[in-house]
Amino acid sequence: MRLSRYFLPVLKENPAEAQIVSHRLMLRAGLIRQASAGIYSWLPLGFKVLRRLEEIVHEEQQRAGHMPMLMPTIQSAELWKESGRYEDYGQEMLRITDRHKRDMLYGPTNEELITDIFRNAVNSYKDLPLTLYHIQWKFRDEIRPRFGVMRGREFLMKDGYNFDLTMEDALHAYNRHMVTYLRTYERMGLKAIPMRADGGPIGGDYTHEFLVLAETGESEVFYDSAVTDLTLGDRDIDFDDVDQCRAIMEEFTTPYARTDETHDEALFGAIPEERRRTARGIEVGQIFYFGTKYSEPMGATVVTENAERVPVHMGSHGIGVSRLVGALIEANHDEKGIIWPEGVAPFPVGIVNLKQGDAGTDDVCESLYGQLIKAGLDPLYDDRNERAGSKFATMDLIGCPWRITVGPRGIKNGVVEVTSRRTGESEEMSAEAAIAKLT
Ligand code: ATP
Ligand code: MG
Ligand code: MG
Ligand code: MG
């Protein structure tokens, strides 16, 4: 992409309405614009990151055998009356009446709809296990929408639902989701710690929230610092292997880590003092096992081997995809702007031409640009007629992991400069070496 043709409306000043750094930077770097309270438009740069996160979520879900689908944003109230949640959900639910005076709602989550799809299509234990998921916009009329996309009213969520014959099978689905989530966040360059949580309106005894530590997080968390040393890395995982998935779940949930809702002072106090941590965290996902909470009232049953009809065991598993963009920035920025982890950067590399219009620098930039595209990278070439200082400031603000700077002086010596956004370190090398380094 050539910056001269890109839509990147950056702001010079800090927007007064933004209280936290990720919100400020998302507005300043032209990722989002507010449409109304808690509702945002995603501009090209922000949309690119959002799509990248969706891709990672899709890949990791499908790796585990979970099937993508798409349910609508608008749902009929009927199903929610069946489950009993139409009344329970309260004012967070946006209720809509259509022209025929039918009660509709903008889905805050999808347990009812997916259970309805399941009960109309599946009848036999032979069709289990089954895990379906989608990535779709949700609406919750939050009392205090704030912090930009972190607590929006309209937000993008991945929500997945498992259907199993027994509790044991459903707990395997739970552990499998735990593993896919650990992989997903690690690929995004985030440390998200699974913490024992509270069921809330979705209900259920087995539930973990995934929290990213950040001062601006809305949850108070308590943990054993040993948990932050754990990483999944690129272990070979067989998602059908019940023992392996359980072992990984146990590995990551044995050190004490809880949100304030389930915090236990006595257990916490038993951790050696030097490892006890109290901090704040951002909830970026949550997994639940809730058994037959929906299948029973809604009649989602299957016939077993012994010709008995039983309600299926279910769980639901969410990732806050749009919130993650904010969480990523909270965890990766400096005073100049965003520092995207390599796995999620909208552009992996930016090219800065220090003397636009100079035949020498233009040639080298064009050639670098073309070769990086050929190598499968997606470079952002700042080909505008701007001062060097302003070009650097833009690149630093939008946070491409690498910058290649091309100037007349370097060209005389046959070199360009390659700079890491994270460390700030620069290295001079030939254009060929720069391409080899980045590809
Ligand atoms: P919170 O405690 O922050 O209100 P939640 O527990 O109500 O979140 P869940 O029902 O667990 O949310 O939904 C799954 C995920 O969706 C959450 O872990 C979070 O990452 C994301 N999410 C929930 N509410 C919002 C929101 N208002 N804006 C952005 N993301 C959200
Ligand atoms: Mg909530
Ligand atoms: Mg919560
Ligand atoms: Mg939650």
- State how far the Cα of 204 lies from the Cα of 196, in Å rounded to an integer: 12
DSSP code of residue 338: E
Residue 411: half-sphere exposure toward Cβ, Cα within 13 Å: 16
Closest C-alpha among 214, 253, 252 to residue 231? 252
**ipTM score for this prediction:** 0.99
State residue 52 phi and psi, 5-degree precision.
-65, -45
DSSP 386-434: --HHHHHHHHHHHT-SEEEEE-HHHHHTT-EEEEETTT--EEEE-HHHH
Ligand showing the shortest atom-to-Cα distance for residue 109: 1
| Size of the chain in residues | 439
Q: Cα–Cα distance between 434 and 439 in angstroms, integer?
A: 9
Strands 130-139 and 94-97: unpaired
CA 254 to each of CA 269, 284, 289, 402: distance values in angstroms, whole numbers, following the listed order: 15, 20, 18, 38
Distance CA 30, CA 290 (A): 41
* CB of residue 140 inside a 6 A radius of ligand 1: yes
Residue 284 CA to ligand 3 centre (angstroms): 9
- In short, whether 142's Cβ falls inside 6 Å of ligand 1 is yes
Whether the CB of 157 sits within 6 Å of ligand 1: yes
pLDDT at 40: 98
- Residue 434's closest CA among 359, 354, 389, 377? 377
pLDDT of residue 201: 60
Task: Determine the residue type at 239.
Answer: F
Ligand with minimal distance to 259 CA:
3
3-state secondary structure of 439: coil
58, 83, 109, 140, 423 from 67: Cα distances, Å: 9, 24, 18, 25, 40
Distance CA 80, CA 74 (A): 12
In angstroms, the CA 161 to CA 76 distance is 19
Considering the entire predicted model, what is its pTM?
0.97
Give residue 197's pLDDT: 87
Name the DSSP letter for residue 331.
H
Check if 315 has its Cβ closer than 6 Å to any atom of ligand 1.
no
State the ligand closest to the CA atom of 202: 1
Closest residue by Cα to atom 22, ligand 1, is: 320
- What is the per-residue pLDDT for 198? 79
Burial string for 341-380 (b: 16+ CB within 10 Å, else e) reads bebbbbbbbbbbbbbbebeebeebbeebbebbeeeebebb
Nearest Cα to Cα of residue 91 among 162, 143, 48, 160 = 143
Strand-pair category, 349-353 with 380-382: parallel
129: Cβ below 6 Å to ligand 1? no
- pLDDT one digit per residue (tens) for the chain, 439 residues: 999 999 999 999 999 999 999 999 999 999 999 999 999 999 999 999 999 999 999 999 999 999 999 999 999 999 999 999 999 999 999 999 999 999 999 999 999 999 999 999 999 999 999 999 999 999 999 999 999 999 999 999 999 999 999 999 999 999 999 999 999 999 999 999 999 987 766 555 699 999 999 999 999 999 999 999 999 999 999 999 999 999 999 999 999 999 999 999 999 999 999 999 999 999 999 999 999 999 999 999 999 999 999 999 999 999 999 999 999 999 999 999 999 999 999 999 999 999 999 999 999 999 999 999 999 999 999 999 999 999 999 999 999 999 999 999 999 999 999 999 999 999 999 999 999 999 9
Let me know: does 271 contact 256? Beta carbons within 8 Å: yes
Give the burial class of 262: count Cβ atoms within 10 A of its Cβ; 0-12 exposed, 13-18 middle, 19 or more buried: middle
Per the structure block, which two tokens stand in for 392? Answer: 């650097």
Return the ligand 1 atom nearest residue 145 CA: 27
Q: Are 138 and 157 in contact (CB under 8 A)?
A: yes
Ligand 1 pocket test: which of 40, 57, 157 has the largest number of ligand atoms within 8 Å of its C-beta? 157
Q: Tokens 């081997």 correspond to what residue? A: 305
pLDDT at 326: 98
Atom of ligand 1 nearest to the CA of 200: 6
* Sign (positive or negative) of CA dihedral 153, 158, 164, 168: negative
What 3-state class would DSSP assign to 128? coil
- Per-residue model confidence (pLDDT) at position 107: 98
Q: What is the pLDDT of residue 259?
A: 95
Rounded Cα distance between 271 and 429, Å, is 51
Q: Is the CB of 323 under 6 A from ligand 1?
A: yes
Q: Is the peptide bond before 9 cis (omega within 30 degrees of 0)?
A: no
CB-ligand 1 contact for 326 (6 Å cutoff) = no
111 pocket-lining for ligand 1 (C-beta < 6 Å): no
Rounded Cα distance between 128 and 165, Å, is: 7
Beta pairing class for 402-406 and 416-420:
antiparallel
